[in-house]
Chain A
Amino acid sequence: MSREEAHRFGRADHLVGIAGLPDGASGGTGVIVLNAGLVHRVGPFRLHVELTRRLNATGYATLRFDLSTLGDSGAAPGRHTRTQQVEADLDDAMRLLGERAGCERFVLVGLCSGAQNAHTVAASDPRVAGAVFLDGYAYRTLGYKLRHYLPRLFDPTRWMRRLRRRGRVTGGESVEPVFAVAPAPRDEVIADFTAMVERGMKLYLVYSGGISTHFNHQRQFRECFGRVMDHPSVTTRFAADTDHTYILTGDRERLLDGIRDWLVGNFPGKDARRIA
Chain B
Amino acid sequence: MAARRALKAVLVDLSGTLHIEDSAVPGAQEALKRLRSAPVTIRFVTNTTKECKRDLLERLTKLGFDIAENEIFTSLTAARNLLEQKQVRPLLLVDDKALPDFTGIATDDPNAVVVGLAPERFHYEMMNRAFQLILDGAPLIAIHKARYFKKKDGLALGPGPFVTGLEYATDTKAIVVGKPEKTFFLEALRGAGCAPEEAIMIGDDCRDDVGGAQNAGMRGILVRTGKYRPADEDKINPAPYLTCENFPEAVEHILERLL
Bound together:
no
- Listed in ascending order, the chain B residues whose CB lies under 8 Å from chain A are none
